[in-house]
Amino acid sequence: MISIFREEFPTALGTFEISILSTDSDAKASDAASVNKDVINVTSRSYQITIFRQLLDLNLGNNSSVLNRVAWCLFFQKSHSNYEKLKIRLELNSHDQEITQGPSSGQYLDAISYNDSKYQIHLGTEDGEVLMERAKARDWLPFRYSKYLNFDTQTRNIHIGSFTEYTERGFLTRVPNLRPGEKAYFHFILAGKHYDEDNVDTWLAVDMSKKQLLRDYTNILPNAHGA
């Protein structure tokens, strides 16, 4: 697979890199990418892809805050029936042995924590339960995928739990196979601040829903809330 989109985000613990990987070697960013650096459009063999990056409010309320906070919202629309597989990878590009990292998930949230005893970061995304509910509501996921995300343990059902899995240093999301006209959406949020073992601000800062992230951007992304 080749990278059809890649962006780096520097932090006190090292650089995080987000990329979209495709089996299509002819995919390219559209000219619109240069118009607004926070909204990038990519055209591949089968998909129209929009990447929306936003710097989020550092103030969480209740005297809580973080030092940096960014979200990547990724929209996929299948435009042609050509065969193509897509993956999203978001990882810390560092092998610093002093950095401790591991899963830090909660209800409706898949998250990873990173710290070096001086600085701490959380990286978060929607978990399988949220994806299931969005599929049921036809909210930027096909309804037919709700049955694969329902955690049903009955042997007659094939279940995958989530499209997202943990990697050694971050997340890997496999964009589900879509039919022409179908859509999929995923987001990732990163937040950091000075290390405090008992402080959960960075975890709270990445615990956001699609609706919360996009409610103020209907003028930029007019179809973001549609099915």
CB 157 within 8 A of CB 144: no
How far is it, in rounded angstroms, from Cα 102 to Cα 85?
A: 28
**pLDDT value for 153:** 46
Q: What is the dihedral of CA 173, 217, 39, 185, to 10 degrees?
A: 20
Please, what's the b/e burial string for 75-89 (b: 16 or more CB within 10 A of its CB; e: otherwise)? bbbbbeeeebebbbb
- Per residue in 38-68, pLDDT (tens digit) is 889 998 889 999 999 999 999 999 899 999 9
Mean pLDDT of the chain: 88
DSSP lists the bridge partners of residue 43 as: 28, 48
- Per residue in 142-195, pLDDT (tens digit) is 999 988 875 554 444 444 678 999 999 999 999 999 999 999 999 999 999 999
